[in-house]
Structure 1
């Protein structure tokens, strides 16, 4: 009986969808950043997070950088308290037109503008501790969001949320294109050896973290077009939306894993760069 129960448990776990990007992906970006900031920056991160009670969100703790990385999603169900931040998690830059960040970021209500704002708040010692703490947890999360391609580019379909999709052997009712990149694809990318949750060399950090927030926005937008949409739509990102469900088979998934993996690495090392700049 015990052996049968254990076998049933294994089968259930094997068939279960992976954790969503908002959990495993964000936590991994944060963990990479934490391993790659300077010791002085790490101490300042810890000091701010020790004040997490000032956020007054007991159901959404932020005691560690991993908890902080999912805090901005955790507080979404808290009603009007944080409803102002809903549009800060993404920027719907049209992948079928020339890259235009300004049009997608009116009045600063987009992820890249908020990253820049949070860095400025953290740099200013005159800003009250509670506001600097909130800027920290938002920054940790938003850098992860920017590097999820379908938060950075779309086709007027809510970043692929309206594109029904099948992921490998998982049941067709489970996913859309956005949730595939949010969840199982990113989980597989992070879990594929060798580990990306490590300390990187100075040369690696300099190469991967180079550029500006706008550069990173353009890069994620291009991946959304050339990898997320083009792969799902038979090679043409801006062609007609396929009828029914699009399918990502195992061969396609294998090609996309390195792309998703690199985005998590980029997010982590670029977050480390911003934290070092903001907290030095």
Structure 2
């Protein structure tokens, strides 16, 4: 009963959010960040906490960053601050066409895509000569963008703004403002994270190693493949490459149940890969 109410409230909240909805929302990003913090080395954890203690240096009083949950959504929060951070908008996604062979080059021109920015933020965090403010921004971007990359519709789409232009229904809930992107961001992510044992825990080396393996390009291809092979087809849009969707995409209860493990695995992967990135960036 409690979980059903949580899902309903999460779905209702989507109606109130500005479009486009941002990847995974606060709940998903915070969960990924918490998984990472539970799996980094003690040295890395101490360095992350020390850097977050310098949050006032960011001079974004309406966008907090002193706690990991707040830090994980800081890059979304600052997008409401206007021209000061408008240059970061294209860093949250990469429009790789699911109807063409996989390549990052067109989508990542001049480094303006999520995978290129993950690599950049790791380099900035490694540079101890940079002022704390710059390294804290890099930390926030790295935490957030690793989550973004693992949301399939931030890695693969077909001329529809990452599913934002595809009207969608989620079970019995089908408001006019819900779309395929917001379904994967919100109610499906919330369902996946809350179904089953908590994802926020320490993972053994044997369990974490295969989930955290691969390169940033490998993770990009993996999310792109999920978008191509699962996201669109599960919504009844298997012909998306030949025909522009004219009807509402529908995820019925049976489909949602099949997608929960897919989404749950992506959150696990993102958290453990972020832990690996942080350990690398902080030399731990």
Report the TM-score when normalising by structure 1: 0.93
Q: CA deviation at 1:241?
A: 3.0
1:59 matched to 2:62? yes
Does 2:129 align with 1:136? no
Residues 164 and 246, structure 1, Cα contact 8 Å, conserved in 2: yes
Deviation at 1:66, TM superposition (A): 1.3
3-state DSSP of counterpart to 2:100: coil
Rounded to whole Å, the distance in 2 between the matches of 1:246 and 1:153 is: 17
1:240 alignment partner, one of 229, 233, 243: 243
Would the aligned equivalents of 1:233 and 1:241 in 2 still touch at CA under 8 Å? no
Partner residue of 1:117 out of 120, 137, 141: 120
Match for 2:264 among 236, 254, 261? 261
**How far 1:11 moved relative to its partner?**
9.8
Q: Is the 8 A contact 2:236 2:250 kept in 1?
A: no
Match of 2:190 in 1: 187
**What do residues 108-164 of structure 1 show as CA deviations (whole Å, max 9, x unaligned)?**
000000000000011111112111110000100000000000000110100000000
Partners of 1:13 and 1:204 in 2: CA distance: 29
- Partner residue of 2:20? none
Q: Aligned residue for 1:5? A: none
Aligned to 2:154: 151
In the alignment, structure 1 segments of 5+ residues that lack a partner are 1-9
Distance 1:38 1:227 in 2: 34
State the structure with more CA Rg.
1
User: What is the CA-CA distance between 1:238 and the residue it aligns to?
Assistant: 2.4
Query: 1:205 & 1:12 partners in 2: Cα distance?
Result: 32
- The counterpart of 2:203, out of the listed 200, 203, 220, is 200
| Structure 1 counterpart SS, 2:10 | coil
Stretches of structure 2 that go unaligned for 5 or more consecutive residues are 15-23
CA distance in 2 between partners of 1:35 and 1:14 (Å): 25
Number of matched pairs:
272
User: Is contact 2:236–2:249 with CA below 8 Å preserved after alignment?
Assistant: yes
Partner Cα separation in structure 2 for residue 199 and residue 11 of structure 1: 27
Among 222, 225, 238, the alignment partner of 2:228 is: 225
Contact 1:17–1:170, Cα closer than 8 Å, also in 2: no
**TM-score, with structure 2 as normaliser:** 0.92
